[in-house]
Chain A
Amino acid sequence: MPGRQSRRSVLATIAALPSAAALGACGGGTSAAVATRGTGAAADGGGRRPTRITFWSALRGSQDVVDAFNRTHDTVQVDFQQVPAGSMGGYAKLSNAARAGNAPDVATIEYPQIPGFAIDGVARDITGLVGDRLRAALLPQALGLTTFDRRVFGVPLDVEPMVMHYRTDLFAEYGLPVPRTWAEFEEVARTVRRKAPGRRLAAFATDGAPQFASFAWQAGAQWFDTRAGAWNVSFADAPSRRVAAYWQRLIDQDLVVVNAVDGRQYDAQIGGGRVLTRLSGAWEAGAQMNARPAQKGKWAVAPLPQWSPSAAVLGTHGGSTFAVTSGSRHPEAAMEFIEWQVSHPDALRARLAGGTSSQYPAAPGLVAVGRRAFDRGYYNGQDLYALFEQEAHKIRDGWTWGPRMSASLKVMQDGFARVGGGRGSVIDAVRATQRGTMPDLRALGLATTEHST
């Protein structure tokens, strides 16, 4: 083990040499001292020493949750550290800490990144630690997303069915029906463009590979499949091609805006009513309330349009899980904390005390808590949680994220960005993702196949 670590740290040093930019990107260098703190505190605790574990998260309200846990528990105490969001350096920080041997006991990982961290040996196989009670408390589709090869690598906190957030006032103004199918959605998009040339029904997110994944998931795509004992990768399978062709048509007919949804441009489009709907996870209802209090009463949430309404299915968009790290010396204590976090009403109450959130808990037993805490005023009294509950059960089981999902999604977004710049097509970007993913997996030594429909 030490040999491997030193080898990798040497490489890390070398690779950082060519430019100072690399140093800027490795912002998480100060994490080394954190993990040792817990054991030090435990040592001078005297007679009844509580087990101290460390916890990293980028989720809002985590400090409140940890405080509530520490107040009500004697045998386990949690040291919390707020870390940057995964894509903003949080994942790099976790990988580096694990390599250096000072990862936290409990880390927060989003669904798409679970298999990568499991393969890298950062997330521990916790199959034996997930008891029947916890298993029964979670939505099976959610736990399915953290289970690979019949081994569990993470415990879901929230699962976010994709829904359609829409402007009720503008829908009424233009006499638009709420679309139930994608065909109706296209029709409505055409009407919007005709009646209000300055507005569009929706945005095609050039930085939104996770949204596109959710569309493909709903349509029946299977980008990754591990059932045959190898990673089968098929980004451009028939359902994905159908989704790509659909959005390409909307783009070609100028029925949607094509730009990034993370940034000032899109903020202005939503704030100014130039985009009438957003297709995203349930969590965005709360995010919208926090970001634009002035638009109170102008939004509602509807189910995502379907390909065939008789067999309604969905993908998810967003959501987080908790993993115990391989280096943790107290996996049982870590699991106790995780189980409490995802299934105890006090945990959700504490989290919601930190600010408005419309996250949909992966434990159905907590939905009532979320519903009670959520202020319905913004959405004209609409019972969002009833809708989310109905939608969560439509999440199609069997979706699998891939071993290097961040990188795959980035390649896809590089392609989408070119579409936004007027070069290439949506399906080109999807095919490029396939080609850009395979060398990575092969170089990792994984068994791979490329069967597709």
Chain B
Amino acid sequence: MTSPITTPASAPSRPPVPPSGTSPVPPPAAASARRARRHARRRELGACGALMTPFFILLVTVFLIPVGTALWLSFFGADQPGLGFGPERTVFVGLRGYTAVLTDPTFLGGLGTVVLYCLIYIPLMVTGALALALLLDSGVVRLRSWAQLGLFLPHAVPGIIAAVIWLYLYTPGLSPVIDLLAGADITVDFLGVHTVLPSIVNIALWSNLGYNMVVFYAALQAVPREVIEASVVDGAGPVRTALQVKAPLVRSSIVMVAMFTLIFALQLFTEPMLLSQATPMIGSRFSPSMYIYDAAFTRNNYGLAAAASVVLLVCTIALSYGVTHWSNRVGAPEEDTR
């Protein structure tokens, strides 16, 4: 930024003239300079456009158009009156799909399942990843890069493969884990009525813990060393340093990880979908995403599936907004006191 003194007071709206060797610029030269500037601006805009077009193309094709389609499908239906055996006609059906979804106990049950899943999964994930990152950062862990690699590696395994691996480990008769426990006279049914949700949480933790740990670890690297030294000088032990000095300094990363985890958790699909083939305790409408899949592809009920998708989208947006808003409010006073 050039200081306001170098630009004439009479033209505050004009972009500032960069300081150059030549004093008072004559009007024709000013015009050519303006042209050059406009040209540069156009090039800048062009680059901007070229760089951002892919984003907007993707935003439109994989987000806005699908959302629009879902909205359209949820409000218009190909109806046949009465028993449904007559010819179809497309009519505006209003909130029919939404009423159906919100009065469907199987959908509400799925929402309840996901809420329970979030309540178990998100705290475990955030505290687990943070604890591991703090351990790595504290230097307690030897062979740091190997530990980091080992923890991160599961994230490189696609979710579907992870579910298959764990399915193998959970299935009685196949699983070496169950055999081993049986040898110690412990019988575990990983796919029973009460254990199936923790089993899914376990798969998700295994897959994502390392990734989030890396996020936290990177944030911890940015913590100024003087602050750590100061706390050590003040007599804080390593645990106290970790919990009361480092952790608050990476608060924004914690919020971000919690939010992303929440968004992914709400869309719970792959793990239960695969496990459902091995246990009847996971129904075809276990989570909202599975409900949507079932409504569209086994019940051929596109209006219902679309309405359920919109409901899930609204829930996700509302929760994300809630988390951001809440963390800003909680964070603000802290910033003030600092």
Binding site for B on A (CB under 8 A): 4, 7-8, 10-12, 14-15, 17-22, 24-26, 91-92, 95, 116, 118-121, 125, 148-149, 151, 153, 206-207, 226, 229-231, 260, 403-404, 406-407, 410-411, 413-414, 417-418, 420-423, 432, 435-436, 438-440, 442-447
Looking at the assembled complex, report how far the CB atom of A229 sits from the nearest CB atom of chain B, in whole angstroms: 6
**B69 located at the interface, meaning its Cβ lies under 8 Å from any Cβ of chain A in the complex:** yes
Asked whether B159 lies within 8 Å of A19 as measured between CB atoms, the reply is yes
**B168 located at the interface, meaning its Cβ lies under 8 Å from any Cβ of chain A in the complex:** no
Q: A231-B83, A447-B82 are in contact. Are A421 and B106 (CB under 8 A)?
A: no
| Whole-angstrom CA separation of A226 from B88 in the bound complex | 19
Task: Find chain B residues with CB under 8 A from A436 CB.
Answer: 104-106, 285
**B210 located at the interface, meaning its Cβ lies under 8 Å from any Cβ of chain A in the complex:** no
Looking at the assembled complex, report how far the CB atom of A87 sits from the nearest CB atom of chain B, in whole angstroms: 10
Q: A18-B267, A21-B273, A440-B299 are in contact. Are A446 and B280 (CB under 8 A)?
A: no
Asked whether A407 lies within 8 Å of B281 as measured between CB atoms, the reply is no
Looking at the assembled complex, report how far the CB atom of A76 sits from the nearest CB atom of chain B, in whole angstroms: 28
Asked whether B69 lies within 8 Å of A116 as measured between CB atoms, the reply is no
Looking at the assembled complex, report how far the CB atom of A123 sits from the nearest CB atom of chain B, in whole angstroms: 10
CB-defined A-B contacts under 8 Å, sample of 26: A7-B73, A8-B302, A10-B66, A14-B66, A15-B292, A18-B289, A19-B159, A19-B269, A19-B270, A21-B160, A21-B274, A22-B293, A91-B298, A149-B83, A226-B83, A231-B83, A407-B299, A417-B281, A421-B193, A439-B107, A440-B104, A443-B307, A444-B304, A446-B80, A446-B83, A447-B82
Q: Which of B66, B159, B299 contacts A404, CB < 8 Å? A: B299
| Whole-angstrom CA separation of A17 from B83 in the bound complex | 34
Question: How many pairs, one residue from A and one from B, have CB atoms within 8 Å of each other in the complex?
Answer: 167
Per-residue interface assignment for chain B, residues 77 to 116, with 1 indicating a CB less than 8 Å from any chain A CB and 0 otherwise: 1111111110010110100110111011111000000000
Q: How large is the interface on B (under 10, 10 to 19, 20 to 34, 35 or more residues)?
A: 35 or more
Task: Find chain B residues with CB under 8 A from A25 CB.
Answer: 297
Q: Which of A231, A403, A443 contacts B97, CB < 8 Å? A: A443
Asked whether A439 lies within 8 Å of B283 as measured between CB atoms, the reply is no
Task: Find chain B residues with CB under 8 A from A14 CB.
Answer: 66, 69-70
**B204 located at the interface, meaning its Cβ lies under 8 Å from any Cβ of chain A in the complex:** no
Q: Considering residues B79, B90, B298, B309, which has the most beta carbons from chain A within 10 angstroms of its beta carbon?
A: B298
**B148 located at the interface, meaning its Cβ lies under 8 Å from any Cβ of chain A in the complex:** no
Asked whether A420 lies within 8 Å of B280 as measured between CB atoms, the reply is yes
Asked whether A125 lies within 8 Å of B292 as measured between CB atoms, the reply is no
| Whole-angstrom CA separation of A447 from B82 in the bound complex | 5
Asked whether B93 lies within 8 Å of A445 as measured between CB atoms, the reply is yes
Q: Which of B69, B96, B100 contacts A10, CB < 8 Å? A: B69
Which 5 A-B pairs have CB atoms at the shortest separation, nearest pair first?
A: A417-B280, A414-B283, A439-B104, A443-B304, A443-B100
| Whole-angstrom CA separation of A26 from B305 in the bound complex | 17
Looking at the assembled complex, report how far the CB atom of A223 sits from the nearest CB atom of chain B, in whole angstroms: 15
| Whole-angstrom CA separation of A148 from B83 in the bound complex | 9
**B158 located at the interface, meaning its Cβ lies under 8 Å from any Cβ of chain A in the complex:** yes
Which partner residue on chain B sits nearest A413 by CB separation?
A: B280
Binding site for A on B (CB under 8 A): 62, 65-66, 69-70, 72-73, 77-85, 88, 90-91, 93, 96-97, 99-101, 103-107, 158-160, 192-193, 267, 269-270, 273-274, 280-281, 283-285, 289, 292-307, 309
Task: Find chain A residues with CB under 8 A from B101 CB.
Answer: 439, 443
| Whole-angstrom CA separation of A14 from B81 in the bound complex | 29
Asked whether A7 lies within 8 Å of B103 as measured between CB atoms, the reply is no
| Whole-angstrom CA separation of A12 from B298 in the bound complex | 12
Looking at the assembled complex, report how far the CB atom of A186 sits from the nearest CB atom of chain B, in whole angstroms: 26
Asked whether A418 lies within 8 Å of B93 as measured between CB atoms, the reply is no
| Whole-angstrom CA separation of A121 from B88 in the bound complex | 9
Task: Find chain B residues with CB under 8 A from A20 CB.
Answer: 158, 160, 270
Asked whether B106 lies within 8 Å of A411 as measured between CB atoms, the reply is yes
Q: A92-B297, A439-B103 are in contact. Are A410 and B304 (CB under 8 A)?
A: no
Looking at the assembled complex, report how far the CB atom of B107 sits from the nearest CB atom of chain A, in whole angstroms: 8
Task: Find chain A residues with CB under 8 A from B306 CB.
Answer: 11
Q: Which of B70, B103, B280 contacts A207, CB < 8 Å? A: B280
| Whole-angstrom CA separation of A149 from B82 in the bound complex | 10
Asked whether B85 lies within 8 Å of A148 as measured between CB atoms, the reply is yes
| Whole-angstrom CA separation of A423 from B193 in the bound complex | 8
Q: A19-B269, A125-B85 are in contact. Are A119 and B99 (CB under 8 A)?
A: no
Which partner residue on chain B sits nearest A14 by CB separation?
A: B66
Q: Considering residues A12, A436, A439, A443, which has the most beta carbons from chain B within 10 angstroms of its beta carbon?
A: A443
| Whole-angstrom CA separation of A411 from B84 in the bound complex | 22
| Whole-angstrom CA separation of A404 from B297 in the bound complex | 12
Looking at the assembled complex, report how far the CB atom of B76 sits from the nearest CB atom of chain A, in whole angstroms: 9
Task: Find chain A residues with CB under 8 A from B273 CB.
Answer: 19, 21
